[in-house]
Amino acid sequence: MPPPRLIVGLGNPGGQYEDNRHNVGFWFVDQLAARLQAPLTAQGKFLGRVARRGELWLLQPMTYMNLSGQAVAALARFYKIAADETLVVHDDLDLEPGSIRLKQGGGNGGHNGLKDIQARLATADFWRLRLGIGHPGERAEVVSYVLKAPRREEQELIDRALDRCLLAWPDLAAGDYAAAQRQLHVKTVSP
């Protein structure tokens, strides 16, 4: 597999959303940018906060979750980055807090950010790093649930998952997705 050239962290811009479950993709990109010493800066042309390290781009769309594809498509088209060179990091209701799944392609699971990216790239063949946030139990509660901060014990599990993702970064950066999956797809242990 080709190594990723674009890492997209999904979330919503603005201080009121900063600690929300829906922003775990932003949290990962913030931590990766710090690790790579690649500061994120606003770039209107790409509708987001962007950092570059060699051939690698980091992106936090500032379009709000439901329009994430606008920013992804703008950067990917400008730099001719293929879908299989793109890794989208996002929250996942179907996974328990602390669980991680890495896969290429597939459905969007009702995630509006993924829906928009699929529509604007005209493919679902990008990679996804799915970070579990758990489910509120009732479909009607999903919107308010993702727009709230995790409980303390959930936050600890999510933080550990983010640490595991950073530990797997060398394999991800090399395009060795199978090795990254072996590191990431482990059973979570409660704090």
Tell me the catalytic residues: 22
Q: Residue 69: is it exposed, middle or buried by C-beta count within 10 angstroms (0-12/13-18/19+)?
A: buried
Q: 14 is written with which tokens? A: 């603005």
Amino acid found at 38 = A
Does the annotation place 177 within a ligand binding site? no
Does the annotation place 17 within a ligand binding site? yes
C-alpha distances (whole Å) from 46 to each of 8, 12, 43, 128, 136 are: 12, 15, 6, 20, 34
Q: 38 is written with which tokens? A: 């690649």
Q: 156 is written with which tokens? A: 């600890």
Does the annotation place 66 within a ligand binding site? yes
CA distance 96 to 101: 11
- Alpha helices per DSSP H over 110-151: 112-121, 142-146
CA distance 168 to 147: 28
Does the annotation place 112 within a ligand binding site? yes
Q: Which residues are annotated as a binding site for tRNA?
A: 17, 64, 66, 112
